[in-house]
Amino acid sequence: MKAAFEMRMVSITNGLQVWANAKLNFYLEISGKRPDGYHELSTFMVPVRIHDVLEFREAPTGSIKLWCDSKELSTGPDNLIVRAATVLQEESKKPLGAEIRLFKHIPWQAGLGGGSSDAAATLCALNQLWKLNLTEKVLEEKAAKLGSDVPFFLQKKAAWCTGRGEKILPSAFRCDLSILVVKPVFGLSTASVYSRLKIPTSPRDQAEAKGSFVGSEISKVNDGLFNRLQEPALELEPALGLLFEALRIAGAKNPLLCGSGSAIFALFEHDERALEVAKSLIHGPARNLIQHTFITRQAIKSCDN
């Protein structure tokens, strides 16, 4: 079981180190397809204390180089970290360079937003390291062009996100609950999940969910949990249903898909109960379906100390 911590930015020798948080979608409804090809959505996203670690140092050569401890991830120009760094480099109109090291802890193809969070961390860190002094508004504009979830990770709290996800309304939500996150051995492609989505003729009204998330009472929060992408994800990968069933049998109430998947999360009042369920899972009949389990909580900070 992996430890999970809150995001931070600290000085290191000749550079900066950033912890980039993951996120969970407590609510995700999709109401239609937009002219630009994206989907119109309403989602309530919560940053959690599962994080990647990134280190940034200036490169006198003016080049942008990314190293990652996982050989499965591309470190080329298609990586969101490199793209974010390139965006700021172009904005500066100067031959600025960076050597970036990524220690990957957030699973990919899990719906946890690791790539988007890393991109947001890159914008924050290089804005400081390169002394660009770009405003929050400019960083938000750059973030929105990089990806729908990236602007969310620039702010410091849970938020309702609308449009294609780039319109952010921060929330005072304080979920002092233990969260069990289970990542299966398989990942899911966001595009493949969306391709199986059936857009509802009568989308859910988010007002009821907003009422559920006003406080931290676990029964109310559980009642508000919803993800429109859960059904198409289950259709795409039937083994996901076995993991949902194993979670329910182990004692999880209303487990929910993380974003477009493949990870699943469930809420508990105490870490001890979450740990009991996690142990039951990893020793139960569904154990061969599980790659990682995390016990975490809501994170409050984002790009600041």
CA 269/CA 274 separation, integer angstroms: 8
Active-site residue numbers?
23, 149
In angstroms, what is the C-alpha Rg of the chain? Answer: 19
CA 40/CA 248 separation, integer angstroms: 31
Question: Beta strands of 75-166 (E only): which ranges?
Answer: 98-103, 159-162
Burial class (CB in 10 A: 0-12, 13-18, 19+), 21: buried
Parallel/antiparallel/unpaired status of strands 64-68 and 98-103:
parallel
19: Cβ contacts below 8 Å, ≥ 6 apart: 5, 6, 7, 8, 9, 51, 52, 53
CA 72/CA 187 separation, integer angstroms: 13
